[in-house]
Structure 1
Amino acid sequence: MAIEFNSWLVDRKIKGINVGVTMTIAEYWNFAEDIIAKNDLQRRRVKVSGKTYQLLGRDLIDGCVMPPIILAVSEDSQVGFNSIISSILDSGSASEDQKKKLESLIREAIERKHLIILDGLQRTFTIQDLVSDSDQKTLAKLFSSQIRAEIYVGLSRTGILYRMITLNTGQNPMSLRHQIEMLYQDYLDNDILLQKGVALFKEADDQRISNLGEYKLSDVSDMYYSFSTGTHNSYSKQTISTILKESEFLEGFQPESAEDLSDLIVTYDKLIRKFDHLFPNWNFDPESMQRNLGGTPFARDMIVFGSKVQVMAGFGAALHRLVKRSEKLGDLASVRGIVEQVYIGEELDHPMDWLIFCLDEVRAKSKKVGDSQRAYFNYFFRLLFNDDEECFLNISDSMIKAKEAYDNVYGS
């Protein structure tokens, strides 16, 4: 049978259309197999006690109807939907002509396998096991069974992320950071970012950062996590407070005003390039401070400094406070607008060298060095970009006051 389209619901929260479809497992597996295989950042299989998914596999062969698989058309195929989606959102419902056009575009996206699994990944793995282990007779029976799916169209990346998190409420949800990585991995080949001088590398690329504008995707994801939740701490610490902070992303989500990961990395990159302009050819010189460093320097040049996840996470957390929570800066475009006004200041003779010694002091007195350094940079950027502070846009003064704020909270 051909895939049947049977409902068209407007999702006003995330500005998209939810399309209900019915298909055979054979039709689903025809594209689902490639969705799993090509996505190297997809989360691993969940180990479930009691062999729940093995039981589901047997039930599927017996003809059980499982809950709908939730999918979304990936950004590769979204462009053709834009005008139709806008019209449907304005009117509140889809006309018969619009339904036919959307159906054609969705079939094309399915044919090209431009889909993302939002909910139902483990069920899809169960189907994969059955396909691998079943004999021809069992497989024919499985493939003839029907399943339902819901396909979201017209969603922005942040809209997809929002829906993934709200759907992912089971016992073993993906972390927010993992979902961010998975959604944004194709920016590695994004011409727009490359034209702006930004290149992102996956861990698998084994690419060394050797130029300004080069960053690891995992670190950029960490920065976006901090920007979304307001926490500068590492995302690997899945504490109760971290989970609660993630809810800030959900409660405050508005698709028409959501800041994208690409906006954030472009903003950060512009600031690092401004630092490089203000401190041309900077290389750490321990002799400048006439004192000894207690350990390995945090960074020896601007390329290494700019690529440090501690700096990026502190930047993201600070902008959450200034952009998302207080709206003092309006949006990331406003931040980019004032970056050019950042200046060195006269409070320090060698600001970058002073900063390295400052971070060495933080390291020496900290049990969790990375988190402590993130906290320092959170203070630094909050002071640098807050126009209520005397050190507004003044790098040297912000560095000094950030150390004072850090010592007041964490102890000198």
Structure 2
Amino acid sequence: MKILTSNTDYKIKAVNNLVEMTIGEYVEIARVILKNNSLQRRRVTTSNKTYSLLKEDIKTGCVIPPIVLAFFPGEYDHKTDINEKNLIETLKILSKQLLILDGLQRTYTILDLYEEVKSDVHLFEKVLALPLRIEIYTGISKIGVLYRMLTLNTGQTPMSTRHQIEMIYSDYNKGFEDFIFLTEAENTTPSASNEFRFSEVIDGFISYITGDYLPIDKEDLISIIKNLENLTNDDLDKDLFKLFVKSFASLRDTLNKDSNNLVLESDVIKENNISQRPFGNSFLIIFSKVQVLSGYGAAINFLIENGLIKNLETIIELTGKIKITDPELSLLKMLQYLDFIVMNAKKIGNEQRMYFYYLIRSLFNENNEGYLDFDKSVEQANKFYKSNMLR
């Protein structure tokens, strides 16, 4: 096993080490990756005969395209350089903290072949001794992992973007710092300012990456990669997922505090001709829902892409400047507008996302009359929503 070259990937600010090892050496590493790394994606079942042919090609000594691995950020001191002196030891100790970014099916094919040729001693030794080139990324961020996974797998049958994001950020599935993420299994509603549903935060983050408040249907990977490029131009050294959660939490917390933790009583809701099953009865409840998170994510993407705000940190700074003159009136109006959507929309959830998309755009775009004025943003979002529905 030896390092052939080490080059800096300036796009994702990581080091790409091109390593040559034997198939036998790779088998030992691959087994650990697939067995112990819960983040690693699973085998894709396919009727394609390509990988059956690859087995036969390997037996004859074909050159296999490089397999791309990366040490998972957060599990490995990725600022430490890997060199020929510590490479073998590092790989042995930390194999379970590697991810296969490209070459999963080739890896399974190699492992299958390893088992199949065991009975033929001569062929077994020949296969184990064949050289294999492996690219190993070190110093890579989580968003860098996602970017490389998407670019490396474009044109193939990749995992869904959602699956990849869930995998990369699954070490946060219980929360981070003071934030608590609730799982689907817990079947509880966020009831504190530091609580979210993990699956709904993921949806919001996907909307932030894709720039679309709608659930992903048919993915346009090129468009997603382009959005990711725009978002990460200045933020490759930052944890965008954490910043996304913190920025949204700062908005929710501001609205909740400025309304003095307002909770609408059922008789107030009834007096204002609002459904007895309203979208929510407080800012905390409303701004914990996936429709708001998705609308928020897509709106922030729009604002950054169009140069209207710089980044997520800007949102955190601006939330402290938001004014809400009449919290109860604004909350009641918002619920009335959301009731209108329930009564008139064909796809209620999607159009609720659209309303909040416009609300956030109004709130943080200095060119809008609702800029940093929540009362006006509630009204302006309704106008934008109705205008869009008339097209």
TM-score range, shorter chain: 0.7 to 0.9
1:252 matched residue in structure 2: 230
1:167 matched residue in structure 2: 152
Q: CA separation of 1:123/1:363 partners in 2, compared to 1, >3 Å: closer, same or farther?
A: farther
2:172 matched residue in structure 1: 187
1:336 matched residue in structure 2: 316
The one-letter code sitting in structure 1 at the alignment partner of 2:110 is I
Residue number among 256, 265, 268 corresponding to 2:245 in the alignment = 265
Q: CA separation of 1:50/1:227 partners in 2, compared to 1, >3 Å: closer, same or farther?
A: closer
**Quick check: 1:308 aligned with 2:286?**
no
Asked whether the equivalents of residues 159 and 255 of structure 1 are also in contact (C-alpha less than 8 Å), the reply is no
The one-letter code sitting in structure 2 at the alignment partner of 1:124 is T
Asked whether the equivalents of residues 231 and 245 of structure 1 are also in contact (C-alpha less than 8 Å), the reply is no
Residue number among 247, 256, 259 corresponding to 1:276 in the alignment = 256
3-state SS of 1:373 partner:
helix
Q: Superposed, which structure 2 residues align to 1:100-111 within 5 Å? A: 100=84, 104=86, 107-111=89-93
Residue number among 141, 144, 149 corresponding to 2:134 in the alignment = 149
1:368 matched residue in structure 2: 347
Deviates more, 1:4-13 or 1:34-43: 34-43
Q: Deviations over 1:241-271 (max 9, x none)?
A: x445314325426554346111111111111
1:353 matched residue in structure 2: 332
Q: Deviations over 1:195-216 (max 9, x none)?
A: xx2123455x546344332223
1:397 matched residue in structure 2: 376
Asked whether the equivalents of residues 223 and 312 of structure 1 are also in contact (C-alpha less than 8 Å), the reply is yes
1:320 matched residue in structure 2: 301
Q: CA separation of 1:15/1:382 partners in 2, compared to 1, >3 Å: closer, same or farther?
A: same
Q: Equivalents in 1 of 2:279, 2:26: separation in Å? A: 50
Residue number among 373, 378, 383 corresponding to 2:362 in the alignment = 383
Asked whether the equivalents of residues 33 and 40 of structure 2 are also in contact (C-alpha less than 8 Å), the reply is no
3-state SS of 1:76 partner:
coil
Asked whether the equivalents of residues 282 and 331 of structure 2 are also in contact (C-alpha less than 8 Å), the reply is no
Deviates more, 1:285-294 or 1:220-229: 285-294
Task: Name the count of aligned residue pairs.
Answer: 384
The one-letter code sitting in structure 2 at the alignment partner of 1:376 is Y
Asked whether the equivalents of residues 232 and 378 of structure 1 are also in contact (C-alpha less than 8 Å), the reply is yes
Asked whether the equivalents of residues 205 and 244 of structure 2 are also in contact (C-alpha less than 8 Å), the reply is yes
CA offset at residue 34 of structure 1? 3.1
CA offset at residue 361 of structure 1? 1.5
Q: Equivalents in 2 of 1:328, 1:54: separation in Å? A: 52
3-state SS of 2:169 partner:
helix
The one-letter code sitting in structure 2 at the alignment partner of 1:361 is F
Asked whether the equivalents of residues 230 and 317 of structure 1 are also in contact (C-alpha less than 8 Å), the reply is yes
3-state SS of 2:159 partner:
coil
The one-letter code sitting in structure 2 at the alignment partner of 1:399 is V
Asked whether the equivalents of residues 315 and 378 of structure 1 are also in contact (C-alpha less than 8 Å), the reply is yes
CA offset at residue 376 of structure 1? 0.7
1:21 matched residue in structure 2: 19
Q: Equivalents in 2 of 1:395, 1:225: separation in Å? A: 25
1:34 matched residue in structure 2: 32
Q: CA separation of 1:79/1:135 partners in 2, compared to 1, >3 Å: closer, same or farther?
A: closer
Residue number among 47, 50, 56 corresponding to 2:48 in the alignment = 50
1:87 matched residue in structure 2: none
TM-score by length of structure 2 reads 0.86
The one-letter code sitting in structure 1 at the alignment partner of 2:93 is E
1:116 matched residue in structure 2: 99
Q: Deviations over 1:208-250 (max 9, x none)?
A: 3443322233322222222222111112x115xx445314325
Q: CA separation of 1:207/1:250 partners in 2, compared to 1, >3 Å: closer, same or farther?
A: same
Percent of aligned positions with the same letter in both sequences? 33
Q: Superposed, which structure 2 residues align to 1:62-73 within 5 Å? A: 62-73=60-71
RMSD of aligned C-alpha atoms? 2.9
CA offset at residue 106 of structure 1? 7.1
CA offset at residue 134 of structure 1? 6.0
Q: CA separation of 1:209/1:59 partners in 2, compared to 1, >3 Å: closer, same or farther?
A: farther
Q: Deviations over 1:378-406 (max 9, x none)?
A: 10001111122222222121111101110
Q: Deviations over 1:60-89 (max 9, x none)?
A: 34543321110112223553526x6xxxxx
3-state SS of 2:74 partner:
helix
Q: CA separation of 1:37/1:278 partners in 2, compared to 1, >3 Å: closer, same or farther?
A: farther
Q: Equivalents in 2 of 1:32, 1:301: separation in Å? A: 50
Query: Structure 1: which 5+ runs fail to align?
Result: 85-97
3-state SS of 2:100 partner:
strand
3-state SS of 1:20 partner:
strand
